[in-house]
């Protein structure tokens, strides 16, 4: 085995494809899944299709930081070095829901959970370890206001801008973390899967059946959407490839403001402070 890989949302469409690809590349895979039973079924399928038996399932609710902490403690106690961490899980809530931590739920799952999970697991990483975060082209319309953590956005609830805000926040985390762990030889990059046929694009509207008929056949399959993340996880990359965003397996050229965003360091500190106020300290 080449080492341990931890993958969030591993029972979902892209997460499952990433799980299989990483297992086939010779890694032990820890599938972090919201539903234990669904994860076990996916695990059995992955074992059948890849022949790799070094796959396990751990239940975690990424909307609850206590659940993230619990799975982190299990992994830390096992003390198995982590070669790959894939922050794949994501959601786009259809209505406002505040978590027990006081977070808007999309913000909790898409940004705060990967921030917490990654930072907590850094002691298990080493030179050569790779962190990959699943972002989205919608980062470009993201706007981070003081209401970000508790409401997702300023004003009335609207799922698309809140989702976009979380992806901008996750991208800023990638950039900041990449610099902080560069000297340790850990790389941190972002994968944009494009528009993928998964449950996240369901709008819960009367036209959803029409969308499935006329729209889904022309967008990427989960396997196609997962390809860039797989590339960043297991393929040989040029030296120094860290803090970058990739799409269609190629590095994306970004506007200067997204490479040196003024909210990058403040957001890191604000997130740490928010968690610290709730008893989660680093």
pLDDT per residue, tens digit, the chain (282 aa), is 899 999 999 998 899 999 999 999 999 999 999 999 999 999 999 999 999 999 999 999 999 999 999 999 999 999 999 999 999 999 999 999 999 999 999 999 999 999 999 999 999 999 999 999 999 999 999 999 999 999 999 999 999 999 999 999 999 999 999 999 999 999 999 999 976 555 554 545 444 454 444 444 545 688 998 999 999 999 999 999 999 999 999 999 999 999 999 999 999 999 999 999 988 877
Residue 123 resides in a domain: yes
pLDDT (0 to 100) of residue 280:
87
Domain that holds residue 54: 4-277
Residue 190 resides in a domain: yes
Residue 212 resides in a domain: yes
Contact 139, 167 (CB under 8 A): yes
Residue 23 resides in a domain: yes
- SS3 labels along the chain: CCCEEEEECCCCHHHHHHHHHHHHCCCEEEEEECCHHHHHHHHHHHHHHHCCCCEEEEECCCCCHHHHHHHHHHHHHHCCCEEEEEECCCCCCCCCCECCCCCEHHHHHHHHHHHHHHHHHHHHCCCCCEEEEECCHHHHHCCCCCCHHHHCCCCCCCHHHHHHHHHHHHHHHHHHHHHHHHHHCCEEEEEECCCECCHHHCCCCCCHHHHHHHCHHHCECHHHHHHHHHHHHHCCCCCCCCCCEEECCEECCCCHHHHCCCCHHHHHHHHHHHHHHCCCCC
pLDDT (0 to 100) of residue 216:
42
pLDDT (0 to 100) of residue 198:
56
Residue 282 resides in a domain: no
Residue with tokens 């390809």: 227
Burial class (CB in 10 A: 0-12, 13-18, 19+), 279: exposed
Q: Identify the CATH number of the domain in which residue 257 sits.
A: 3.40.50.720
pLDDT (0 to 100) of residue 227:
95
pLDDT (0 to 100) of residue 213:
46
Counting the structural domains of the chain, the total is 1
**At how many degrees (to 10) do helices 13-24 and 36-50 cross?**
40
pLDDT (0 to 100) of residue 218:
46
């Amino acid at each position: 085995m080449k080492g341990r890989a931890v993958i969030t949302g591993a029972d979902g469409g892209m997460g499952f494809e990433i799980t299989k690809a990483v297992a086939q590349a010779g890694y032990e895979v820890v599938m972090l899944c919201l539903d234990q039973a669904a994860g076990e079924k996916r695990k059995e399928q992955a074992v059948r299709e890849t022949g790799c038996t070094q796959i396990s399932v751990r239940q975690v609710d990424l909307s609850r930081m206590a659940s993230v902490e619990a799975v982190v403690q299990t992994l830390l106690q096992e003390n198995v070095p982590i070669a790959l961490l894939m922050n794949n899980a994501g959601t786009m809530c259809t209505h406002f829901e505040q978590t027990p931590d006081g977070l808007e739920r999309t913000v909790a799952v898409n940004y705060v959970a990967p921030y917490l999970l990654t930072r907590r697991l850094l002691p298990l990483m080493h030179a050569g370890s790779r962190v990959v975060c699943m972002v989205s082209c919608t980062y470009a319309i993201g706007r981070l206001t003081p209401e970000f953590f508790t409401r997702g956005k300023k004003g009335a609830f609207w799922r698309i801008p809140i989702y976009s805000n979380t992806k901008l926040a996750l991208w800023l985390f990638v950039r900041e973390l990449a610099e902080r762990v560069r000297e340790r030889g850990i790389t941190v990059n972002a994968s944009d899967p494009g528009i993928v046929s998964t449950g996240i694009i369901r709008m819960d509207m009367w036209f959803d059946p029409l969308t499935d008929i006329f729209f889904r056949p022309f967008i990427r399959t989960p396997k196609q959407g997962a390809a860039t993340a797989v590339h960043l996880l297991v393929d040989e990359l040029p030296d120094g490839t860290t803090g970058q965003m990739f799409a269609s397996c190629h590095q994306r050229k970004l506007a200067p403001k997204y490479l040196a965003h003024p909210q990058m360091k403040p957001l890191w500190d604000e997130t740490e402070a928010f968690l610290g106020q709730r008893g989660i300290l680093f």
